[in-house]
Structure 1
């Protein structure tokens, strides 16, 4: 499995398996187990996905040595602030049934982000977390919070696909060797994207599907990707992107698809207030924890 080296020296698998919107009814366990059997060694979850328990169970049941699987989770913003975040990190570890997570992220960049970051730094020093990072930070939000941090994030997980290539943000991240992780790397099934002549022509040339062309483009751009699927054939095909290489001209052609706009704008008025006033996840998280430890 190809890896990228983070600015803290840890090596992260270049492609992972995403679990967003996979329910915790056995579906997550089944999907993650299949992904691990097919060769994935990077699993992405979050408190807000309500499926940490099944992710951890699949990792533990896989028979694969723990140090060969990269597990990411994320702190939800109702647990921001130094003391609440410390408790939430411990709860994530309990739900996962793991001694540590490889990467822990600030999920939404609103509220007491600096306090949460201090708790994550402390958890890293204590060995509970290997690497720490952020998510959904635009250039504006990055400049608002990151100068307050004692240590730099290792990654910023944001929306990224050929229609939204985050040009301005990538310039900021590159200065500090911060890796970009892509959520929605396939545009969340945007059919317009999958109909693009450039992508279809390349799929025909390389005998690949359009999704594989997109993921290979993103990989060659240095982006960490973790496509999601519950279908084993698709889980397998999403990993099968390392037996061909796009030319420089072909990469340049795909870059022309960038519209500069995504589906989600973290800077939009009211987004932070809406999320900060949202439902707390404590009760659900506690139930998930109890279920995972039966």
Structure 2
């Protein structure tokens, strides 16, 4: 999440000027209006930009979700949202999903998906949906490759979007010998090696930065390709453990208590 105001606005304008066309925001980031303003001011045709936003826990349930969707549309001011997600999968998710399905049919949203769904959570909710999610946005990087949920998603042709694709600044990741050796070989930095690996794995990656140099570097990954053996060496780094456990007791209560998108 990038702070509300000029920091978000400037980061989005910079990213768009450097060639990015997918911008990710959320009701709980409180910066939808800044994202929308930056996109409108960019001069780039709306249809060339892909915008993701997310519905927050306070607005789950059929009627609350309808209002939440309208609020996101109003805040963004872009006419429609390309992808809208269930941000945290707790509470009346089926009711919220129904409202999102209707908004999709009405053309307000082009595609709908989920976020932070583990196998356990997926099996609790998705079988109740009339339509399959397009994506599941989850924590994912070379040390936490989400192999278990990816198998289930592949059965239903659901794409993985990776949040924190560069980890949390962990030295264990950015200074891993496998990654640093590849960075030296290709004349790239470790972050670019990580993003290239994830791109070749088929992930939709969402690196976050407010610094122009890093924003520019994060998209400069298409002039080289990791070999099959190098991909295997990266795949072998998986520990199966991340920083966020959506299945942990009390997560829903903690999130709802600490993040409120309205009174």
- Same-fold call, TM > 0.5? yes
SS in 2 for 1:74: strand
1:110–1:276 Cα contact (<8 Å) kept: no
Root-mean-square deviation (CA), in Å? Answer: 0.9
The yes-or-no answer on 1:257 pairing with 2:257 is no
Q: Give the C-alpha shift of residue 192 in structure 1.
A: 1.8
From 97, 106, 111, give the equivalent of 1:131.
Answer: 111
The yes-or-no answer on 1:157 pairing with 2:137 is yes
1:205-220 map, 5 Å: 205-220=185-200
Q: Give the C-alpha shift of residue 279 in structure 1.
A: 4.5
Give the structure 1 partner of residue 40 of structure 2: 60
From 178, 195, 207, give the equivalent of 1:227.
Answer: 207
Give the structure 1 partner of residue 7 of structure 2: 27
Greater RCO, 1 or 2 (C-alpha within 8 Å, sep 6+): 1
Give the structure 2 partner of residue 4 of structure 1: none
From 68, 92, 102, give the equivalent of 1:112.
Answer: 92
1:163–1:258 Cα contact (<8 Å) kept: yes
1:1-294 map, 5 Å: 20=1, 22-283=2-263
1:111–1:276 Cα contact (<8 Å) kept: no
Instruction: Give the count of matched residue pairs.
Output: 263
Counterparts of 1:107 and 1:260, CA distance in 2: 22
TM-score, normalised relative to structure 2: 0.98
Q: Deviations over 1:270-289 (max 9, x none)?
A: 11232344453115xxxxxx
Q: Deviations over 1:145-172 (max 9, x none)?
A: 0000000000000000011000110000
Q: Which moved more, 1:33-42 or 1:22-31?
A: 22-31
Q: Give the C-alpha shift of residue 256 in structure 1.
A: 1.1
Counterparts of 1:70 and 1:280, CA distance in 2: 26
SS in 2 for 1:282: coil
Counterparts of 1:277 and 1:66, CA distance in 2: 36
TM-score, normalised relative to structure 1: 0.88
SS in 2 for 1:92: helix
